[in-house]
Amino acid sequence: MLKPQRAPLMPLNEALAQLLTAVQPMTAVEQRAILDLDGRVLAQDVISALHVPPQDNSSMDGYALRVQDVKAPGVEMLVSQRIPAGSAGAPLLAQTVARIFTGAPIPAGADAVVMQEDCVVVAGSEGDMARVQVNGTPKPGQWIRRAGEDVSSGSVVLRKGQRLGPAELGLAASIGMDRLDVVKRPRVALFSTGDELVMPGTVAPQDMPPGAIYNSNRFFLSSLLRRLGCEVTDYGIVPDLFDATVQALREASTEHNVILTSGGVSVGEEDHIKPAVQSLGSLDLWQIAIKPGKPFAHGKVGDAHFIGLPGNPVSSFVTFLLLVRPFLLRLQGVEGGAPVGVSVRADFDWPRADKRQEFLRARRNANGGLDLFPNQSSGVLTSVVWGDGLVDNPSGQTIRRGDTVRFIPFAELLA
């Protein structure tokens, strides 16, 4: 009897496109203080109600003056006023200068600032009625920050669907915002399957039974989810039993937007995820042409999305970054979000071409190239700790020392 032919492996870009097509961005919105919004996603445009800076101001400590009053270097002028940041000066008198500090508003009539290093106090103190010698010939606009040169009133400074980071939060504060409307956090139910799994802290290393392993996936997946702004409910380890799997899925589907599992998405006798999900909803089980990775599942249990990752830790880690991360960003309304790879020199040989697209753990070296972790097995979690990114190696491609490869830094994938 002929063996049934397996479906061809699905290319990564095709799997990602199908996954993102299944996503409808969440519409639930909440308002929160900006101090609590790092990593959250904007639910509406942020429009400035003022100019930033609000008026012309000095970008240097020095002296504000009228350019026409300085015909040549060495002119001595009277200091008619002192303007610190946070105060408003009076209109500048002709043939005088104003002692001014960084951030202070430019007085009416002044059209340049000469920094203090280019001036010498020749009489009195630095305050009013002192005299300074202006060395150099100033140009109009010199050392002046114009009103609205950063942000103009009425402009959109942050767009709906934008993730908020430190710079975005600072920009929002600069236009007077203390609260913003953001997409509610996705609620994600997380559990692992596998009777071989043991939770750290429940069994001492010396007492581990044969065949048992500590559940590492739970911890890095929970961390990755929280970095993406998700609320995580940890269901722990579900026994390798059909009824227990169905019960966990049914319970999780009522309160969560996404159910994420690791392990049990193959077709072995102890892999109950597939029939359990199908008994409650729908499931697509994909064999993706990537290494590490390959088995990946997406479906629905009630209104909740179901995503099943492979059980091997590096496979689970990499498939999360490549598929689940963009899925969760799209769920929150973020468009794009694909990592931008950079071209880097390979300082290693990879003579074994694979039919799958490979993601090799590597890190930059002091010479500007990439070193490869010696063990690329899907179970070696030390490779993603040692490495600082992934070499995206196309299917059927060998790598010779000196070749240029596409490198995706973890700094992008973990942001």
- Regarding whether 303 and 230 lie in a shared domain, the answer is yes
Please say which residue of 312, 331, 350 terminates a domain.
331
Q: 312 and 392, same structural domain?
A: no
Domain match, 155 and 200 both: no
CATH number for the domain including 174? 3.90.105.10
Q: Give the per-residue pLDDT at 257.
A: 97
- Considering the chain, what is the average pLDDT of its residues? 92
What local confidence, expressed as pLDDT, does residue 123 receive?
A: 77
Asked whether residue 43 is assigned to any structural domain, the reply reads yes
**Which residue carries 């946070």 as its tokens?**
86
In a domain, 244, yes or no: yes
Best CA proximity match to 114, nearest among 92, 95, 133, 131:
133
Confidence of residue 196 (pLDDT cuts 50, 70, 90): confident
CATH of the domain at 388: 2.40.340.10
Whether pLDDT at 327 is above 80: yes
Same-domain status, 141 and 67: yes
Q: Is residue 7 part of a domain?
A: no
Looking at residue 19, the DSSP 8-state letter turns out to be H
According to DSSP, residue 95 is labeled T
Where among 167, 183, 199 does a domain terminate? 183
Answer yes or no: do 62 and 131 share one domain: yes
Residues 290 and 208 in one domain: yes
DSSP assignment of 34-85 equals GGG-TT-BBSS-EE-SS-BSSS-EESSSEEEE-GGG--STTEEEEEEEEE-T
- Per-residue confidence (pLDDT) for residue 271, from 0 to 100: 67
Last residue of one domain, picked from the residues 90, 124, 145 = 145
Report the alpha-carbon distance of residue 143 to residue 104 in Å, rounded: 12
**Residue 356 within a domain:** yes
Identify whether residues 280 and 322 lie together within a single domain: yes
Assess whether pLDDT exceeds 80 at residue 266. no
Per mean pLDDT, which range of 19-33, 148-162, 272-286 is the poorest? 272-286
In a domain, 174, yes or no: yes
Query: What mean pLDDT is predicted for residues 378-390?
Result: 96
Tell me the pLDDT band of 1, cut-offs 50, 70 and 90: very low
Over the stretch 229-252, which tens digit does the pLDDT of each residue have?
A: 999 999 988 888 889 899 999 999
pLDDT tens string 74-91:
999 999 999 999 998 999
Judgement on whether residues 109 and 162 belong to the same structural domain of the protein: no
Tell me, what CATH number does 289's domain have?
3.40.980.10
Which range scores top for mean pLDDT: 144-158, 185-199, 330-344? 144-158
- The answer to whether residues 219 and 247 belong to one domain is yes
Let me know if residue 4 belongs to a domain: no
Average pLDDT over residues 140-145: 97
At residue 2, does pLDDT exceed 50?
A: no
pLDDT band at 95 (very low <50, low <70, confident <90, very high): very high
DSSP per-residue codes, 257-280: SEEEEES--S-STT--HHHHHHHH
Q: What span, in angstroms and rounded, lies between the C-alpha atoms of 277 and 250?
A: 9
Instruction: Give residue 83's domain range.
Output: 57-145
- Cα end-to-end distance, the chain, whole Å: 51
pLDDT at 5: 55
Better-predicted residue by pLDDT, 378 or 269: 378
Do both 193 and 313 map to the same domain? Answer: yes
pLDDT at residue 385 tops 50: yes
Taking a C-beta distance cutoff of 8 angstroms, is the pair 114, 28 a contact? no
Are 216 and 78 found together in one domain? no
Q: Domain total for the chain?
A: 4
In a domain, 307, yes or no: yes
Q: What are 250's two structure tokens?
A: 């049914």
Nearby residues of 211 by Cβ (< 8 Å), 6 or more positions away: 196
Tell me what pLDDT residue 3 has: 52
Residues 167 and 291 reside in one and the same domain: no
Residue 215, pLDDT score: 84
337 in any annotated domain: no
Q: How far apart are CA 173 and CA 156, in angstroms?
A: 14
Q: Look at residue 129 and tell me whether its pLDDT is greater than 80.
A: no
